């Protein structure tokens, strides 16, 4: 991340939002709103003094999922890039009561700027890579997962607890401050279940195994891995699974249902053990829910903004699941990482590298190959009604001076315009009306065998 | 037995691939269906369907990607709106609306494809040959164009 921030050819716009995208491959115009962070990025050295001295404390930290606190001027986490802090207007004492400005007084570089406004930037770019990531699945929708009970945490919350830089300094502790004697890690929470997400989130098995390993490292607690199918698919993963087994974690293969309940001050995990077919009850102190990945809440909005499709579960759709996994149906727009579908870090890095290479390749070449099948408008037949422009899923058609015009770079050749045109002025190469009619007539001239 | 002639307009990304899968997995379906491959079900114009009936088809089936899975984002949304309207209009023109069917078939739904073709063939068979005034019996040579 640090080298991205320092690279001379990379301009990093954090705390910003894309508002409009127009143009086509090689000539995109992107309007970005850079939100006011009330810190001058050019002056700030990231020393952290403002954060240290800020009197507005005890604000739940988003990075620590509310398990820790932060100040009103803060960096999301110590390694954040850029290291410039952001001022949270909603919690800042100055914005609330009109008094304080402690950070401004103390900043040695005079980098605090309470007058800063949102800025709108117009960028001209040739290619676009989307790497907007995922949202962790919300376990409160999952029936009987027990989320909301004391000492039932999601995988991500547990990750913060077990992290040396986390709110507990890496100590796994129960709500009452004592170390747990037993922990159950439940796999497949909200994944591979038709009621929530039909797909496998791919990362939960391995992070759940990692937790078992870390728990053995930091506590003496007994660990139960309550899984359905162990999906240790990657390089070195199966070996890790074997290692965790040898370390003494108890593996319970469960049926589809699992239930977490509170009983006598304990948590009780009920499940059906698949091999024996018997019901098992595990009394534990702590439950970790192996939650999966889901598309970001605003994925639909983002997809519309960039003119790309989404697959059934809501992740961005690649051009071809096997042959073009990083390209989208919109030329010049690439996707990488979990925004395309659940994937782990190695796969994300590989896909990101591929997307970067594909984008560079396109720019280096300086020209693009067009699809052979694109729409054309016969100008003398066009009445300029605009039906085709409305029908086009890619906004590739504009009516200019009463005549529809197709942008050859944006057109993907679906032909929806050709069948919408009331005066047959739009024709799709290789799928023209004449060709389709001839094909149909040829087929109908043969007798049914 | 009366064998109806059915023309299928299949989108290349989902339904044609699904039909292909039905073939490679050796599923049985009636040979009454003749397939025209299109980039998108959105390419199927109402005129083309009417023309297909005029030129000798007893049934027309349009197949595309499931809503939300269109390769072209929203081409099939158009189809989803067009076909029901056309079905109602067919009734006015004396063609049974059941002779036109729209079905979503994804690339993996070979079973669904075969089952749909079986069902539709039986539906059209039970309706009998389509009788239209001024219908051309054999495809004329060199006739082309929409108008």
CA distance A367 to A359: 12
pLDDT surpasses 60 at B140: no
The model's confidence at residue A217, banded by pLDDT at 50, 70 and 90, is: confident
Is residue A128 within 8 Å of residue A135, measured between CB atoms?
no
- Does A444 sit within 8 Å of B71, measured CB to CB? no
Are A424 and B146 a contacting pair at CB < 8 A?
yes
| Nearest Cα residue in chain B from A428 | B43
Number of domains in chain B: 1
Residue B95 within a domain:
yes
Asked which of A128, A148, A166 is the last residue of a domain, the reply is A128
Q: Helix, strand or coil for residue B107?
A: coil
CA distances for B95 relative to B48, B57, B130, B134, angstroms: 15, 12, 8, 14
Residue B132 belongs to a domain: no
Q: Are residues A46 and A28 in the same domain?
A: yes
Whether residue A412 and residue B72 make contact (CB cut-off 8 A), yes or no, is: yes
Same domain, A203 and A267: yes
Does residue A364 register a pLDDT over 80?
A: yes
Q: What is the DSSP string of A54-90?
A: -S---EEPTTTTTSSEE-SEE-SSTT-SS---EE-TT
Tens-digit pLDDT profile for residues A299-319: 999 998 998 888 889 999 998
What is the arithmetic mean of pLDDT over A275-289?
95
Asked if residue B104 is part of any domain, the answer here is yes
Instruction: Name every residue whose Cβ is closer than 8 Å to that of residue A238 and which is 6 or more positions away in sequence.
Output: A232
Show the tokens assigned to A85.
């802090």
Q: Using alpha carbons only, what angle is made at residue A218 by residues A214 and A221, rounded to the nearest 5 degrees?
A: 90
Quote the ipTM score.
0.88
A255 and A329: one domain?
A: yes
Exposure string of B114-130, with b = 16+ CB inside 10 Å and e = fewer, is: bbbbbebbebbbeeeeb
Domain total of chain A: 3
A424 within some domain:
yes
**Residue B146 pLDDT greater than 50, yes or no:** no
Residues A208 and A339 placed together within one structural domain of the fold: yes
Chain A partners of B72 at a C-beta cutoff of 8 Å? 309, 329, 393-394, 412, 414, 416
Q: Which of B12, B42, B60 to mutate to test the interface with A (most CBs of A within 10 A)?
A: B42
Which residue among A308, A441, A448 sits closest to B3, beta carbon to beta carbon? A448
* A379 domain-assigned: yes
pLDDT tens digits, one per residue of A247-273 = 999 999 999 889 999 998 899 999 999
pLDDT in tens, B32-74: 999 999 999 999 999 999 999 999 999 999 999 998 888 888 8
Closest CA to B106 of B49, B68, B60: B68
pLDDT, residue A370, reads 83
Task: With CB atoms and an 8 Å threshold, state whether A441 touches B38.
Answer: no
Q: Is the model's pLDDT at B143 over the cut of 60?
A: no
Residue A321: pLDDT band by 50, 70, 90 thresholds? Answer: confident
Query: Which of the four pLDDT bands, split at 50, 70 and 90, describes residue A371?
Result: confident
Tell whether A81 and A115 lie within a shared domain.
yes
For residue B139, being part of any structural domain is answered with no
Task: Indicate if A269 and A342 belong to the same structural domain.
Answer: yes
CATH number reported for the structural domain that contains residue A381 in this entry: 3.30.70.20
Asked if A142 and A121 sit in the same domain, the reply is: no
DSSP helix, strand, coil percent of chain B (3-state; round to 5):
40, 15, 45
Q: Is A137 helix (H, G, I), strand (E, B) or coil?
A: coil
Here the CATH number for the domain that contains residue B95 is 3.40.50.960
pLDDT for position A257: 87
Average pLDDT over residues A124-144: 94
Residue of B nearest to A374 (CA): B39
Tell me if chain A has a CB within 8 Å of the CB of B73. yes
- Which residues of chain A lie closer than 8 angstroms to B44, CB-CB? 419
Q: Nearest CB to A420: which of B3, B52, B78?
A: B78
Q: A73-74 and A86-87 as β-strands: parallel, antiparallel, unpaired?
A: antiparallel
Domain boundary among A308, A338, A369: A369
Mean pLDDT of A287-296: 96
- In a domain? residue B140: no
Residue at A449 is within a domain: no
Does some domain include residue A386? yes
Task: Specify the pTM.
Answer: 0.79
* Partners of residue B42 in chain A, C-beta under 8 Å: 391, 393, 414-416, 419
- In this prediction, residue B147 carries a pLDDT of 40
**Alpha carbons A336 and B101: distance in angstroms, whole number:** 38
**Domain check: are A240 and A318 in the same one?**
yes
Among chain A residues, CA nearest to B42: A416
Indicate whether B133 pLDDT > 80.
Answer: no
Domain that holds residue B72: 6-127
For residue A394, list chain B residues with Cβ-Cβ distance below 8 A: 72-73
Q: Is residue A290 part of a domain?
A: yes
Query: Does the pLDDT value for residue A403 go beyond 60?
Result: yes
Whether B72 sits inside 8 A of A439 (CB atoms) is no
Size of interface A-B (CB pairs under 8 A): 121
**Containing domain of residue A119, as a range?**
2-128
pLDDT on residue A198: 94
Q: Do A264 and A305 belong together in one domain?
A: yes
Q: Can you tell me which residue has the tokens 């019996």?
A: B137
Given a cut of 60, whether residue B30 has pLDDT beyond it is yes
Nearest CA distance, B5 vs chain A (angstrom): 7
pLDDT-based confidence at B136, cuts 50/70/90?
low
Mutate to test the interface with B, among A437, A446, A447 (most CBs of B within 10 A): A437
User: A155 and A281: one domain?
Assistant: yes
In whole angstroms, what is the distance from residue A303 CA to residue A301 CA? 5
Same domain? For A116 and A146 the reply is no
Cβ-Cβ contacts under 8 Å, B57 against chain A? 440, 444
C-beta atoms surrounding B144 within 10 Å: 13
Please write the tens of the pLDDT for every residue from A65-79: 998 899 999 999 988
Let me know if residue A268 belongs to a domain: yes
Q: What is the mean pLDDT of residues B1-5?
A: 92
Together in a domain, A297 and A357: yes
Which of A310, A434, A448 is opposite residue B145, by nearest beta carbon? Answer: A434
Instruction: Tell me the per-residue pLDDT of A162-201, one tens digit each, with 9 for 90 and over.
Output: 998 888 888 999 999 999 999 999 999 999 999 999 999 9
- What CATH number did the domain enclosing A290 receive? 3.50.50.60
State the pLDDT confidence band at A127, using cuts at 50, 70 and 90.
very high
| H helical segments located in A85-148 | 93-97, 102-106
Please give the radius of gyration of chain A, using alpha carbons only, rounded to the nearest integer.
28
Does the pLDDT at position B139 exceed 70?
no
Mean pLDDT on A242-251 = 95
List, for residues A92-103, the tens digit of each pLDDT value: 999 999 999 999
Is residue B119 assigned to a domain? yes
Q: What is the mean pLDDT of chain A?
A: 93
Specify burial of residue A123 (Cβ count, 10 A radius: 0-12, 13-18, 19+). Answer: middle
Last residue in a domain, options A128, A156, A179:
A128
> B81-123: per-residue pLDDT in tens?
999 999 999 999 889 999 999 999 999 999 999 999 999 999 9
More confident site: A321 or A353? A353
Is there a domain that residue B27 lies in? Answer: yes
Cβ atoms of A27 and A126 closer than 8 Å: yes
């Amino acid at each position: 991340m640090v080298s991205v921030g320092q690279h001379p050819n990379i301009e990093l716009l954090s705390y910003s939002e894309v508002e409009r995208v127009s143009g086509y491959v090689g000539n995109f115009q992107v309007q970005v709103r850079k939100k006011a962070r009330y810190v001058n990025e050019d002056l700030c050295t990231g020393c952290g003094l403002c954060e240290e001295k800020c009197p507005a404390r005890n604000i739940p930290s988003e990075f620590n999922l509310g398990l820790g606190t932060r100040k009103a001027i803060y960096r999301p986490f110590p390694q954040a890039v850029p290291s410039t802090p952001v001022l949270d207007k909603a919690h800042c004492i100055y914005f609330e009561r009109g008094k304080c400005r402690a950070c401004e007084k103390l900043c040695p570089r005079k980098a605090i700027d309470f007058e800063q406004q949102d800025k709108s930037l117009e960028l001209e770019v040739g290619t676009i890579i989307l790497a907007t990531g995922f949202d962790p699945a919300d376990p409160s929708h999952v029936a009987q997962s027990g989320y909301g009970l004391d000492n039932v945490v999601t995988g991500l919350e547990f990750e913060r607890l077990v992290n040396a830089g986390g709110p507990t300094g890496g100590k796994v502790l129960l709500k009452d401050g004592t170390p747990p004697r037993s922990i159950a890690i439940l796999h497949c929470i909200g994944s591979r279940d038709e009621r929530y997400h039909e797909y496998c989130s791919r990362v939960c098995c391995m992070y759940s195994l990692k937790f078992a390993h870390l728990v053995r490292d930091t506590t003496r607690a007994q660990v139960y891995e309550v899984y359905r199918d162990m999906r240790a698919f990657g390089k070195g993963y199966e070996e890790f699974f074997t290692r965790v087994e040898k370390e003494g974690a108890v593996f319970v293969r469960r049926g589809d249902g699992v239930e977490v309940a509170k009983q006598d001050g304990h948590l009780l995990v009920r499940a059906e053990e698949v091999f024996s077919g018997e019901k098992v009850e595990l009394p534990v102190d702590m439950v970790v829910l192996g939650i999966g990945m889901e598309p970001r809440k605003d994925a639909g909005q983002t997809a519309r903004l960039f003119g790309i499709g989404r697959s059934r579960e809501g992740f961005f759709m690649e051009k071809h699941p096997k042959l073009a996994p990083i390209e989208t149906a919109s030329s010049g727009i690439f996707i990488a990482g979990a925004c395309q579908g659940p994937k782990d870090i190695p796969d994300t890095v590989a896909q990101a590298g591929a997307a970067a290479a594909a984008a560079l390749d396109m720019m280096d070449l300086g020209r693009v190959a067009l699809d052979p099948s694109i729409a054309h408008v016969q100008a003398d037949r066009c009445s300029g009604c605009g039906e085709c422009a409305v029908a086009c899923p890619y906004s590739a058609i504009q009516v200019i001076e009463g005549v529809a015009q197709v942008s050859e770079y944006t057109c993907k050749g679906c032909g929806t315009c050709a069948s919408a045109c009331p005066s047959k002025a739009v024709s799709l190469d290789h799928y023209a009306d004449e060709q389709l009619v001839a094909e149909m007539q040829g087929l109908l001239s043969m007798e049914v065998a | 037995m009366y064998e109806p002639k059915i023309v299928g307009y299949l989108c290349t990304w989902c339904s044609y691939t699904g039909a292909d899968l039905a073939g490679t997995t050796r599923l049985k379906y009636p040979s009454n269906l003749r397939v025209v491959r299109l980039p998108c079900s959105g390419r199927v114009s109402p005129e083309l369907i009417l023309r297909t009936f005029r030129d000798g088809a007893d049934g027309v089936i349009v197949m595309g990607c499931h809503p939300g899975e269109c390769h072209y984002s929203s081409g099939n949304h158009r189809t989803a709106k067009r076909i029901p309207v056309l079905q109602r209009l067919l009734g006015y023109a004396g063609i049974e609306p059941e002779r036109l069917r729209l079905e979503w078939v994804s690339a993996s739904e070979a079973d669904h494809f075969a089952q749909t073709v079986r069902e539709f063939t039986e539906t059209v068979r039970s309706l009998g040959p389509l009788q239209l005034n001024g219908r051309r019996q054999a495809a004329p040579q060199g006739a082309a164009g929409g108008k």
